[in-house]
Amino acid sequence: MNILTVSPFAEKKIKQGKQLLLAEDFPNIAENNQLVYLYSQSKEFLGTGYLSSQNKGIGWFLSPKKQQLTVTYFQGLFEKAKARRQSYYANDLTTAFRLFNQDGDDFGGLTIDLYGDYALFSWYNVFIYSLKDIIVEAFQTVFPEVLGGYEKIRFKGLDFESDHLYGQEAADTFTILENGVTYEVFLNDGLMTGIFLDQHEVRDGLVNGLALGKSVLNMFSYTAAFSVAAAMGGAVETTSVDLAKRSRELSTAHFEANGFSMENHRLVVMDVFDYFKYAKKKGLFYDLIVIDPPSFARNKKRTFSANKDYHKLIAQSLDILSEYGTIIASTNAANMTVQQFKKQLRKGLGDVSADFVNLQQLPVDFAVNPNDPTSNYLKVYTIKVNK
Ligand code: SAH
């Protein structure tokens, strides 16, 4: 077994329970794509981990034991993961949720989502990808009811990013249920699937009261999932704004899957900053504005970084928010803390008084590592504005 001696600083982080190994804590590391036993400089055994560079980090701590990565090992992880999601299995109104989530389920670099009868595996680095045969074997014994699997490649170096992985093939598009709402999804068309499952509790809030009787503006709407949830929850009208042309047909599919005509549901293909200006000029007002930008985006006109620019979205929302309106402000920027996010929101609100009604983070199926706040990347504030 390869042995890796870690710095006192990295040792401290491991002992705090952090599992993601960051490049800055492991200077001069040459090894890649291998299992390692981690030792402190005083030769204390710290545990088993693996090295494999990915978008974020250079590897993962796995276990305080000397661990071999066998089918049995993954079966154990999957059984535990399945057991902690029993409430989702017991709910007939939801057929799509996350089955396995990285370090929250004690194996970073891997996520597995359930979409009805199919599973979607996302591989975040070369090392985990090299284990896929034993992982799929273990998965099939613990989840025999899943008919087939698909995979997404979330690291650089392969010439494809999506493929069928095992078992039966799903239809090109099919529907799943979430909180009783139907969404149309696709598992083998790029990295996206038509829905971001991590937002299901926020959508649940819209279905169950928050949107009732309201006019709703959904900014960065992608497939308009928030708008459809709001419509199901009794919103009188919705407007969904996204720059991507394809969002239009995908959004229509979600609405139609629930039997809505598009009469009260507008889909606008436009830069959100242009839409803010347009709506202000036209004197449009909305009771509820949902804002869910990417952490970072660059288009022909401008770049947007959630860390620096989020406050602008709030400030411009105020111009077109009805009296006593509500803003749902979401970010998935892992490098922004809750405090930093709140500061952006306060900056955007300026002198306007507002109640921060609640903060939602990842739901329980997106299990987080409680010792690493960066694993709980989602932050969603519901803000009642008193203007
Ligand atoms: N809120 C969506 C997910 C948003 S993903 C949901 O719940 O499903 C981010 C989206 O922002 C993408 O669809 C992208 O096309 C869009 N986008 C990025 N920059 C934009 C901009 N400046 N104006 C409008 N849409 C933008």
Task: Flag whether pLDDT at 112 surpasses 80.
Answer: yes
Q: Which of 386, 387, 241, 383 is nearest to 326 (CA)?
A: 383
Ligand 1 center–CA 269 separation, angstroms? 10
pLDDT for position 29: 80
pLDDT for position 300: 81
Amino acid code (one letter) for 104: G
Q: Write out the DSSP string of 25-67.
A: GSTT----SEEEEEE-TT--EEEEEEE---SS-SEEEEESS--
pLDDT band at 301 (very low <50, low <70, confident <90, very high): confident
Place of tokens 């996206």: 192
Containing H/E element for 204? helix 200-205
CATH of domain 71-172: 3.30.750.80
pLDDT band at 347 (very low <50, low <70, confident <90, very high): very high
Task: Give, in words, the CATH class of 196-386.
Answer: alpha beta
pLDDT for position 28: 76
pLDDT for position 197: 98
Task: Flag whether pLDDT at 168 surpasses 80.
Answer: yes
**Considering the chain, what is the average pLDDT of its residues?**
96
Pocket residues for ligand 1 (CB within 6 Å)?
196, 199, 220-223, 225-226, 241-244, 247, 271-272, 292, 294, 297, 299, 304
Task: Flag whether pLDDT at 315 surpasses 80.
Answer: yes
Q: Which atom of ligand 1 is nearest to the CA of 330?
A: 1
List, in sequence order, every residue forming a beta bridge with 356; answer none if it has no partner.
Answer: 383
Instruction: Indicate which residue's Cα is closest to atom 16 of ligand 1.
Output: 220
d(CA 157, CA 178): 34
- What average pLDDT does range 61-81 have in this prediction? 97
Ligand 1 center–CA 345 separation, angstroms? 19
Q: Are 31 and 5 in contact (CB under 8 A)?
A: no
Instruction: Indicate which residue's Cα is closest to atom 9 of ligand 1.
Output: 294
pLDDT for position 30: 76
pLDDT tens digits, one per residue of 248-286:
999 999 999 999 999 999 999 999 999 999 999 999 999
Q: Which atom of ligand 1 is nearest to the CA of 271?
A: 23
Beta strand ranges found along 71-147 (DSSP E): 96-101, 110-115, 118-123
Ligand 1 center–CA 217 separation, angstroms? 13
Q: Which atom of ligand 1 is nearest to the CA of 247?
A: 13
The CATH T-level fold of domain 2-63 is 2.30.130
Distances (CA, A) of 178 to 182, 267, 318: 7, 22, 31
What pTM did the predictor assign? 0.96
CATH 3.40.50.150 segments of the chain: 196-386
Pairing between β-strand 321-331 and β-strand 379-385 as defined by DSSP bridges: antiparallel
Q: Which atom of ligand 1 is nearest to the CA of 244?
A: 15
> For a pocket test of ligand 1, which of 198, 222, 249, 270 has the largest count of ligand atoms closer than 8 A to its C-beta?
222
DSSP 103: G
Q: Which atom of ligand 1 is nearest to the CA of 241?
A: 24
Q: Which atom of ligand 1 is nearest to the CA of 222?
A: 13
Ligand 1 center–CA 213 separation, angstroms? 25
Task: Flag whether pLDDT at 180 surpasses 90.
Answer: yes
Q: Are 132 and 163 in contact (CB under 8 A)?
A: no
pLDDT tens digits, one per residue of 154-164:
999 999 999 99
pLDDT for position 359: 98
pLDDT for position 354: 98
pLDDT for position 158: 95
pLDDT for position 299: 80
pLDDT for position 96: 98
Ligand 1 center–CA 305 separation, angstroms? 13
pLDDT tens digits, one per residue of 362-372:
999 999 999 99
CATH 2.30.130.10 segments of the chain: 2-63
Task: Flag whether pLDDT at 91 surpasses 90.
Answer: yes
* Through-space distance between the first and last CA atoms of the chain, rounded to whole angstroms: 64
The pLDDT > 70 percentage for the chain reads: 100
- What average pLDDT does range 102-127 have in this prediction? 98
Instruction: Indicate which residue's Cα is closest to atom 22 of ligand 1.
Output: 271
d(CA 382, CA 288): 10
- What average pLDDT does range 316-329 have in this prediction? 98
Q: What number of other Cβ atoms are within 10 A of residue 47's Cβ?
A: 18
Q: Which atom of ligand 1 is nearest to the CA of 292?
A: 1
CATH 3.30.750.80 segments of the chain: 71-172
What the block records as the tokens of 124 is: 């975040």
Distances (CA, A) of 29 to 3, 21, 162: 12, 12, 30
Instruction: Indicate which residue's Cα is closest to atom 15 of ligand 1.
Output: 244
> For a pocket test of ligand 1, which of 206, 220, 267, 296 has the largest count of ligand atoms closer than 8 A to its C-beta?
220
